[in-house]
Amino acid sequence: MIKHLNKIKMGKKIKTTRTTPLPRTEPCPDRIVIQSHGMGVESQAILERWVAEPESRPFVTWDQLIVVTAQVGEEHKKDTIRDCEARMLPLLREHNVRFVEVARRGFHEEDGIVVLQDTRQPMKMHPDGCYSLSSYLLRSGTVPQFGGEHRCAMKFKAFVIETWLALEFQHLDLKVPVHHVFGYNADETTRTAKSEYHIARHNADRDIERPKTPLMVFGFNSEEIGRVERSMLYDGPNRVGNYPLDEWAWPRQKCIDYIQEKSGIVWRKSACSFCLAGDTLVSARGGISTLRELAKTGRQILTPRRFSAKSLSDFKLLERGEYQEAPVRSFGIQKLWHIRFQRGSSFKDVFATAEHRWILEWGKGERTTATLQPGDLLPHVRPPEPSYVGTPFADSYCSFEVCFVEPTDREEEVFCATVEGAGAFVLEGGLVTGNCPFCAEASKGEPDAVARWNESPEQTARGMLVEYNSLCFNYRGHLYRDKALRDVVQLKEANQAMVEFAKLLDEAPWSLYRVRRIYTAKGKAMRYVERLTPEQTRSFATASLLGVIERDAPDAVKETRRGIDYYIVHEREEDVYPTRQEFYVVAPGYMEDKLRGKPEKFNERWERVGQGLPMNPEKVTKPRKKAKL
């Protein structure tokens, strides 16, 4: 089995000052072009333009193009797969393009990959793949990461595609690299620079020239800065990066508009139904602008300073805002509600989706449009510049009061901003509104929005099962940064998803586990999970738990979090390292014993930390050398 990726450390900072598009890649009759089609907006926009505008192609004939898709087993069948089968596959059939659909075969990379189809006349997708990401997460007892390397993408997309590439092109001379065409858009110059740096490093190490080369196409847009910065981890010695959306100066909104123009489809990403009408006025640097305009121009918008749930109780933090970069995106055609606000003697009308978030005044939490009540008070924020004096609502501080909220027959394209950190932005007149709560998570592979929860309750329930399983082994193992998917689904009353989730828990095997961790630094821990009983019913596993606690840990403290009973023997000390954590829990029985290294070594370290001794006695700390003057 071949190794799939080079392990590149993230320590080196790669920056760029480039503000102009990359030079156009000229078509080459000898080059093989490989598009890695992620079934998203950017990938489809590239394909649409290649079909409609021959001069945009980096190839001469369609025989040179191969489209590759990696299935993770979790794609939304009711929109993503539906649209791919309705639009992408017919385009490939029409031009007789070779389409390869691949998937991971099993839990271990040594299990290899599966080619689901390799044809020039594809009729359907295979969204179930072979071994699903959720199965991997259940067995690992984890959820997808928020930061750092996107290991799920690496394991279920990068590994699969890299393996297929190596097998497909193993006959090529090692002096010929693969050109990898990425779908980073025009705003993602930092991601482009990082990817180019690491590709050049690989090629320099192997003394590679750049003659006629296969070209690999990926689809990331300009607002997905985090994904581009991590793209270096996908670079291997068998490919060279290329970025058509950067060459074309296409941001994400241009991709969405182009697909809709050519196909009539509003192509969905990780969807969000927490949005506002396109003509909603927003406070932006340089003046008031509509959300629709901001989606195209990308100006900074006004946000509350140091905004968080805790800071809501401190009025001074909200008195004046600051301008911040915040991408505004389209989220398709949705139904709108009408909200009327009053501030002093003035009225303000806003049209928003039922699930759009609104921040209540004085730290009283938040509501959605559908749950706003007449009399609810919402905060007001002023811009930092004094020129704001004299504009509407600027006379003095005064809350916005809800007059009425009602559904309408209005149905149109909606937009929302993603404000990193602040989680909110400011409409015309100083009205604070929440941004899409899951937009940021959606750009990293993060969870589904409410619309999809209701459309696909079985998939939503599967996500909740993965999260529940993770929480059993880690109090903080929820799917979102600061909340659990289950909590949000309950709040939004996605009842059918909750019913399906309950069924999955009833059908799951259960086991008793002992979980121990040695924390060596902030965010770093050695974990040892021991399965103490075979798979059994939940009631039998609970009875086993009580028996073990009575026998081995009578002083354990029971603590219930999100419906999960933890029997805590040792709780970690905050900001003290090394420190220990130990608890017993009944969890779905998908995970086997899990430990990196030998149990004897872990147990030795465990005892030494408990006795206050150095964790590794064999390590002798060398004294630091004094700096030379």
Span 510-529, pLDDT tens digits: 999 999 999 998 878 999 99
pLDDT at 442: 34
Q: What are the pLDDT digits (tens) for 91-120?
A: 999 999 999 999 999 998 899 999 999 999
CA distance 591 to 593: 7
**pTM for the complete prediction?**
0.64
Q: What are the pLDDT digits (tens) for 4-22?
A: 333 333 334 444 444 566 6
| CA-to-CA dists, residue 394 to 12, 300, 330, 335, 422, angstroms | 46, 20, 30, 32, 22
pLDDT at 534: 94
Parts of the chain belonging to CATH 2.170.16.10:
276-437
Closest CA to 132 of 122, 140, 124: 140
Q: If you count DSSP H runs as helices and E runs as strands, how many of each does the chain have, helices first?
A: 19, 25
pLDDT at 322: 86
Q: Which helix (H) or strand (E) holds 588?
A: strand 579-588
CA distance 333 to 27: 37
Query: In terms of DSSP bridges, do strands 564-570 and 98-104 run parallel, antiparallel, or are they unpaired?
Result: unpaired
pLDDT at 153: 65
Lowest-confidence segment of 55-59, 223-227, 295-299 by average pLDDT = 223-227
CA distance 545 to 328: 50
Tally of CA atoms within 13 A in the half-sphere of 475 that contains its CB: 15
Tokens found for residue 205: 């190490």
List Cβ neighbours of 331 (8 Å cut-off, separation of 6 or more): 271, 272, 273, 275, 414, 415, 416, 436
Q: What are the pLDDT digits (tens) for 408-443?
A: 988 888 888 877 655 788 999 889 888 754 444 333
Give 477-485 contacts, CB < 8 A, sequence gap 24+: 477/141, 477/142, 477/143, 478/143, 479/143, 479/144, 479/446, 479/447, 480/438, 480/441, 480/446, 480/447, 481/146, 481/441, 484/562, 485/447, 485/460
pLDDT at 85: 94
pLDDT at 421: 58
Got the DSSP string for 408-457?
A: EEEEEEEEEE--TTT-EEEBGGGBEEE--TTHHHHTTT----HHHHHH-H
Q: Highest mean pLDDT range out of 236-245, 268-277, 357-366, 574-583?
A: 574-583
Q: Domain 276-437 carries which CATH code?
A: 2.170.16.10
Q: What are the pLDDT digits (tens) for 457-469?
A: 888 888 899 999 9
